[in-house]
Amino acid sequence: MSTQLDVQFNSKHRKSPVPVIDAERCKGCGLCIHFCPKKIIGWASHSNTKSYIPAEVIKDKIDECTGCIACVLMCPDVAISVYSYSQVTDQSLHNSEAILL
């Protein structure tokens, strides 16, 4: 089973920023979906352990992220981070050494 993190970091040499949504922390308010200027965030097809339907990054649109951090700023649950992927590897990201924008 792939995790949200696996889906978002599937490209080794990604040049665009990488948004990460903590599905367990998300309460599904939809503010990130509404305010994302590129509309790369949508509703998940599943609920989290708290029975909320969280937001998730749309896999086919992830490369359109500009790193504007509108989603981060709007999230009342602090469930979203946007990472710069140009200076990290898949392994360092999983070890929490990623560089936040």
Q: What is the pTM of this model?
A: 0.73
pLDDT band at 10 (very low <50, low <70, confident <90, very high): low
Res 87: pLDDT: 45
pLDDT band at 97 (very low <50, low <70, confident <90, very high): very low
Asked if residues 5 and 96 have their Cβ atoms less than 8 Å apart, the reply is: no
pLDDT tens for each residue of 53-72: 999 999 899 889 999 999 99
Torsion of CA 63, 14, 42, 21, to 10 degrees: -150
Q: Structural domains in the chain?
A: 4-100 (3.30.70.20)
Per cent of the chain over pLDDT 90 is 57
Phi–psi pair at 28, nearest 5 degrees: 70, 35
